[in-house]
């Protein structure tokens, strides 16, 4: 992408309403623009990150055997009366009347709708298990939207729903999502910690939050340091095998959010040097809730014994738009973002130090074409801005690699490659730089 054709409206000043780094940087780097309180437009740079995160979430859902679909944003109030949640949900639900005065709402989650869809299509235990998911915009009318996309009102969520004939099957589905989530966040460069959690308005007996440690996190969390050292499950994980041993390995260490924290147990179970009391950002939440929805909504399946029983369900959410902020909280410095390659808006920022200089233009265009042909995504700064402005801009948007090409270097047979993560620089020949970038990007994207 040529920067001259892209739309990248950077802000010079840090907007005063932004209190945390991710919110500040997303506004400054032209990733989002607030359109109303807690409602953001995703500008091209931010949109690319959002899509990368969404795609990783999708791939790991598919790997775990979940099937994608898409439910609408607008739901009927009637459906929520069936489960009893319409009145209970409170003011966070955005309630709407259509032109025929029917009561509607902008979905904050989809347990009711998926249960309705399931009961219309499935009758027998033979059709189970099923896992269905969608990635759709939700709305929660927060009293006080804040921290940018971390706690917005309109937000993108991946929600999966599992349907099983019995509790053992439901546990199996729960385990698949548990493992899928560990993989999902690890692929984005995040160390997620599954923590015992409250079930809140979703209900149910078994629930884990997936937490990223960050000073700006909204919740207090407590865990064993050893959890941070566990490797995420590999891409070769067989989701049809028994995943319980893998789950046990994670849940054998103490980890709990504030609501579930037990100080005495914490002290007993964790050596003092391994006790982490920190702040955390919730990026995923999984629930097993049995027949909480299937019973009132009469979603039953006929078992092997010929008897009908409510289907056993679970639901599993990932905060896709929130993750954009969470990743910035984990990866930034004073100069800007430092994107891990798998979620970076582009892999390489190509800086032509002197647009109009024949040698610099020729070398830049050659590098641009060679990298794009190899599947490396390049943002080519072909604007007439001064070098200092170009450097600051590239550092701010935080692409993993910068390729810096100018007349003076070319005269000496050199270009410069800068790694944004640690500032490491190489001065090498153009061909070698292209090869190195291709190799580094391909290796960073390997799943």
Choose among 353, 426, 429, 343: nearest CA to 391: 353
In the complex, the smallest distance separating the C-beta of residue 94 from its own copies, rounded to whole angstroms, is 7
At residue 413, the 3 state secondary structure works out as: coil
Select 104 or 442, whichever has its Cβ closest to its own copies. 104
Q: How many whole angstroms separate alpha carbon 239 and alpha carbon 61? A: 11
Nearer to its own copies, 76 or 216 (CB): 76
Q: In what order do the strands lie in the sheet with 103-106?
A: 74-76, 103-106, 94-97
CA distance 400 to 247: 33
Shortest separation between residue 117's beta carbon and its own copies, angstroms: 6
Are the CB atoms for 114 and 84 separated by under 8 Å?
A: no
Looking up tokens 């072909």 gives 382
Q: CB of residue 211 vs its own copies: minimum separation in angstroms?
A: 27
Which is nearer to its own copies, 101 or 334 (by Cβ)? 101
Nearer to its own copies, 98 or 308 (CB): 98
The candidate with the shortest Cα–Cα distance to 8, out of 320, 260, 244, 349, is 349
We find the least distance from the C-beta atom of residue 286 to its own copies, in angstroms, to be: 20
Cβ nearer to its own copies, comparing 37 with 432 = 37
CB of 299 to its own copies, least distance (A): 13
Q: Which is nearer to its own copies, 59 or 198 (CB)?
A: 59
- Applying CB under 8 A, which residues contact its own copies? 1, 5-7, 9, 30, 33, 35-36, 39-44, 47, 50, 65, 67-76, 79, 91-92, 94, 96, 98-99, 102, 104, 106, 113, 116-117, 120-122, 130, 132, 137, 139, 141, 143, 153-154
State the nearest-atom distance from the C-beta of 444 to its own copies, in Å.
23
Say if residues 350 and 361 touch (Cβ distance below 8 Å). no
Q: At closest approach, how far in Å is the CB of 43 from its own copies?
A: 5
**Residue closer to its own copies, measured from CB, 2 or 425:** 2
- Distance from C-alpha of 174 to C-alpha of 168, rounded to nearest angstrom: 10
Supply the minimum distance, in Å, between the C-beta of residue 113 and its own copies.
6
What does each C-alpha distance from 403 to 346, 364, 384, 433 come to in angstroms? Answer: 12, 9, 17, 8
Eight-state DSSP code of residue 124: B
Omega prior to 129 cis, within 30 of 0: yes
- How many Å apart are CA 266 and CA 124, to the nearest integer? 44
Q: Pick between residue 50 and residue 283 the one whose CB is nearest to its own copies.
A: 50
Q: Are 94 and 155 in contact (CB under 8 A)?
A: no
Q: What is the crossing angle of helices 167-187 and 244-251, to 10°?
A: 70
């Amino acid at each position: 992408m040529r920067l001259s054709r892209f739309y990248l409206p950077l802000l010079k000043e840090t907007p005063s309403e932004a209190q945390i780094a991710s919110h500040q940087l997303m506004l400054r780097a032209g990733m989002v623009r607030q359109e109303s309180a807690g409602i953001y437009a995703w500008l091209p740079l931010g949109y690319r990150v959002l899509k990368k995160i969404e795609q990783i979430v999708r791939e790991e859902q598919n790997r775990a055997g979940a099937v994608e679909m898409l439910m609408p944003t607008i739901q009927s109030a009637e459906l929520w009366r069936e489960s009893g949640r319409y009145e209970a949900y409170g003011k966070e639900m955005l309630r709407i009347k259509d032109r025929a005065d029917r009561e509607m709402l902008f979905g904050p989650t989809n347990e009711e709708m998926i249960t309705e869809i399931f009961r219309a299509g499935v009758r027998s235990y033979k059709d189970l298990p099923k896992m269905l998911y969608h990635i759709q915009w939700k709305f929660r009318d927060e009293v006080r939207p804040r921290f940018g996309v971390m706690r917005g009102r309109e937000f993108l969520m991946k929600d999966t729903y599992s349907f099983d004939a019995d509790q053992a099957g439901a546990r199996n589905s729960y385990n698949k999502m548990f493992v899928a989530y560990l993989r999902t966040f690890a692929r984005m460069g995040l160390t997620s910690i599954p923590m015992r959690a409250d079930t809140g308005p979703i209900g149910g007996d078994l629930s884990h939050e997936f937490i990223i440690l960050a000073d700006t996190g909204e919740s207090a969390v407590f865990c064993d340091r050893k959890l941070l050292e566990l490797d995420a499950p590999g891409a070769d994980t067989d989701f049809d095998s028994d995943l319980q041993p893998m789950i046990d390995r994670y849940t054998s260490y103490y980890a709990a959010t504030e609501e579930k924290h037990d100080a005495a147990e914490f002290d007993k179970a964790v050596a003092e040097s391994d006790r982490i009391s920190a702040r955390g950002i919730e990026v995923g939440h999984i629930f097993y809730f049995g027949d909480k929805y299937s019973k009132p909504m009469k979603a039953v399946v006929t078992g092997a014994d010929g008897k009908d029983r409510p289907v056993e369900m679970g639901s599993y959410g990932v905060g896709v738009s929130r993750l954009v902020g969470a990743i910035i909280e984990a990866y930034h410095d004073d100069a800007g973002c430092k994107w891990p390659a798998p979620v970076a808006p582009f892999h390489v920022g190509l800086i032509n130090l002197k647009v109009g200089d024949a040698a610099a233009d020729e070398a830049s265009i050659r590098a641009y074409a060679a990298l794009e042909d190899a599947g490396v995504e390049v943002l080519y700064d072909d604007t007439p801005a001064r070098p200092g402005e170009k450097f600051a801009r590239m550092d701010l948007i935080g692409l993993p690699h910068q390729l810096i090409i100018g007349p003076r270097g070319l005269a000496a047979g050199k270009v410069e490659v800068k790694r944004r993560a640690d500032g490491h620089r190489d001065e090498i020949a153009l061909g070698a730089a292209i090869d190195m970038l291709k190799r580094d990007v391909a290796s960073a994207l390997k799943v």
